[in-house]
Structure 1
């Protein structure tokens, strides 16, 4: 695992140098995934269950469930499945397949009949009342029009649920980036031909769990069901949901389920939370003066930040960057010492530039010339010292001679 990280190969010709960058990721081969039943609720002739698939000691894992029914909703990168079944569906068998970049493995098949028996479903004998919303637990909320009703075919029979089927969402959620402590907006996505004014109900979900219900046709009809969102979730009429005062724990999968009188569809989002960057610091890793040139390695870093990319300006013909751009190696001659370097750090929500660094602070003219002109410099210094010593001796002898002469004259 310690071998993972950034690698690069530097290739040089007589006139140029270039660099190829690689990122090596090491992944463990997967074991058989385990399927856990989070919840099972039998009501209204339906069995609603939430299943969770996981692989011990593994990372970079994606999950896929088979089969996927019309009422199925997956969340948390596919690891959690919420679905609802009637008596006719109890012969289904579910399998979770886990994959990472180097292996894949399927779970032991799980029959729906083990979760929901016919006896459990037959116990529900109360009629379904007229309602704008009929809840299918485990993150499947089907919104019915006020005209919808469920009728019994006969006494003791299974109620018939007349809800709209949920349209299958896009396979790729919309990625939304938010800054820690700030606000972010989740734009509602409408299918072709859909209009905001046709929506009669909106349900906001986090990790497959309902956190808010909105009736856009009634002012102030926002009902927040999760206490932690009580003062932080707003509906911006007519087509967006706003999340405020974001924390790192708010990151994850969100979805918005929208219903008209005839259809229901789902918009999915992945919310990522980042800290706003502080000013990057530039550190001098090494400075070498030789052959009339100054060669230095500079390192740029931002404290307590992730997903950061770096960019140096200016970039000379001999400059080489590595470690995602945070390290710059360059060489300068005596004519380049007036250059000023700046490192700009960026993440998805902010950017910040370092304090400008003059090359002259790293390599002075004497340092850059040291290796080539060092012998000549020492010769001049030696001659100068010898001349000073000679003049001092000569002056002393001259003074002593004059003093002796004066004594004789007296």
Structure 2
């Protein structure tokens, strides 16, 4: 009976220890920026005898032993690391290759070691997206169009924001009337490209019925409908002169 109880306690202890070893968190950074990696386990103890940080599973990048200066072994982080007294690791001038899992090993005076993992993901700054309109069909009275928004990055989400079709220009709270202003011949659509650290946007302007202009260029987006309309106007002008 006692043996079974001891085995059960050992099993529970193993689960708890595994959970401690699995303590982790996530962090994000931007290329060229700064990030601080801080082990939350330090709140459980007041003092650690020594500590060291690893990039990945085994590459030591910062080593601190009690009473000695912090050592930064030569490697991909040369002159970019700073380890503070609370075991927080500062990484400057971030690079995309800095994305990885970082492990900090904290040892107390009794030799007991705590481990903490932080997964770092470094993102590029999102540039201004390229937008364009692709018009389908050739009906000048019906604008069937596909709006396209792109940036040359991975891990980016896109959001299209339609124009505000109704623009209040005043109100009268006494009789419940609201004067409105409409401009059906001109609309602006905005695309926003985002990642966890930044976002950027660009606009497409539609002029009635289906002529589109991108914000990044003063030249209207080439469309089948606009070309056909231009050709029609030229033919009418030709017959009028003859």
Q: Does 1:273 align with 2:125?
A: no
Q: In structure 2, do the counterparts of structure 1 residues 362 and 226 end up closer, same or farther at CA, with 3 Å as the change threshold? A: farther
Q: Does 1:344 align with 2:192?
A: yes
SS at match of 1:190: helix
Q: How far has the Cα of 1:168 moved from its partner? A: 3.7
SS at match of 1:246: coil
Q: 1:314 aligns with which of 142, 155, 162?
A: 162
Q: 2:205 aligns with which of 355, 358, 365?
A: 358
Find the counterpart in structure 1 of residue 26 from structure 2.
Answer: 175
Contact kept, 8 Å, 1:307 with 1:347, in 2: the verdict is yes
**How far, CA to CA, are the matches of 1:361 and 1:200 in structure 2?**
73
Q: Does 1:184 align with 2:27?
A: no
TM-score by length of 1: 0.40
SS at match of 2:143: strand
Structure 2: gaps of 5 or more residues: 1-13, 166-181, 212-224
Contact kept, 8 Å, 2:49 with 2:108, in 1: the verdict is yes
SS at match of 1:253: strand
Number of positions where the alignment pairs a residue of Structure 1 with one of Structure 2: 188
Find the counterpart in structure 2 of residue 211 from structure 1.
Answer: 61
Q: CA RMSD in A?
A: 3.5
Bigger-Rg structure (1/2)? 1
**How far, CA to CA, are the matches of 2:96 and 2:90 in structure 1?**
16
**How far, CA to CA, are the matches of 2:97 and 2:142 in structure 1?**
51
Q: How far has the Cα of 1:224 moved from its partner? A: 1.2
With a CA cutoff of 8 Å and minimum separation of 6, indicate the structure with the bigger relative contact order.
2
Contact kept, 8 Å, 1:277 with 1:346, in 2: the verdict is yes
Q: Deviations over 1:305-333 (max 9, x none)?
A: 1100011112799xxxxxxxxxxxxxxxx
**How far, CA to CA, are the matches of 2:209 and 2:79 in structure 1?**
53
**How far, CA to CA, are the matches of 1:202 and 1:311 in structure 2?**
44
**How far, CA to CA, are the matches of 1:285 and 1:169 in structure 2?**
54
**How far, CA to CA, are the matches of 1:335 and 1:167 in structure 2?**
62
